[in-house]
Structure 1
Amino acid sequence: MTTQTETTSKAPTHTVYMVKLKDGADKPDWIRVGAAWEHGDKDGLNLSLSILGQDIPVTIRKNKPKTD
């Protein structure tokens, strides 16, 4: 497991959207579902998702080559 570096910013660095296709429409709806904060080492994000009344924390990290 990797060690993550937290960002010191309290404001989100990214917004998370769900893109919903609409029948007969030219453009999909972009529905805001959360916020994200980039890690200080720029190798990942912490997400806070609000879906179906649930707050769901998610951490994303870049894949790194495995060493033997």
Structure 2
Amino acid sequence: MARTNTKPDNQQPNAPEFLAWHVTDKGEKSFWNKVGAAWRHKDGKGYTLQLEVVPINGRIVLRQPLDEPEGQNEKGSA
């Protein structure tokens, strides 16, 4: 869910500080689906939340991205 724009002077793209997850509960299980990301404002006083979809039920949870093991893709298979 990283943004496609890059910083000037060949710097790395601005990675999101949080990932947005849509969480629904089915009995004792919770199902998590990534729906967007959040970036801190330059002044540190807020966030921009970019959603790829808008859920109509459940809740949206913001979590810091986890460092993925080298060679592992988003689906979880190496």
TM-score using structure 1 length: 0.52
Count of aligned residue pairs for this structure pair? 43
Match of 1:17 in 2: 21
Q: Secondary structure at the match of 2:52?
A: strand
How far the C-alpha of 1:43 sits from its partner, in A, is: 1.4
Distance in 2, Cα, partners of 1:19 & 1:27: 10
The correspondence for 2:33, drawn from 31, 34, 39, is 31
Q: Give the RMSD, CA atoms, in angstroms.
A: 1.9
Compare the two structures and name the one with the higher strand fraction: 1
Once superposed, which parts of structure 1, at least 4 consecutive aligned residues long, lie more than 4 Å away? Answer: none
Percent of paired sites with the same residue: 40
Show CA shifts across 1:11-46 (max 9, x none). 111100111111x3x231111100110112221111
TM-score using structure 2 length: 0.46
Structure 2, gaps ≥5 residues long: 1-6, 8-12, 55-78
Structure 1, gaps ≥5 residues long: 1-7, 53-68
The AA in structure 2 aligned to 1:35 is: A
How far the C-alpha of 1:48 sits from its partner, in A, is: 1.2
The correspondence for 1:45, drawn from 47, 56, 59, is 47
- Choose 1 or 2 for highest CA Rg: 1
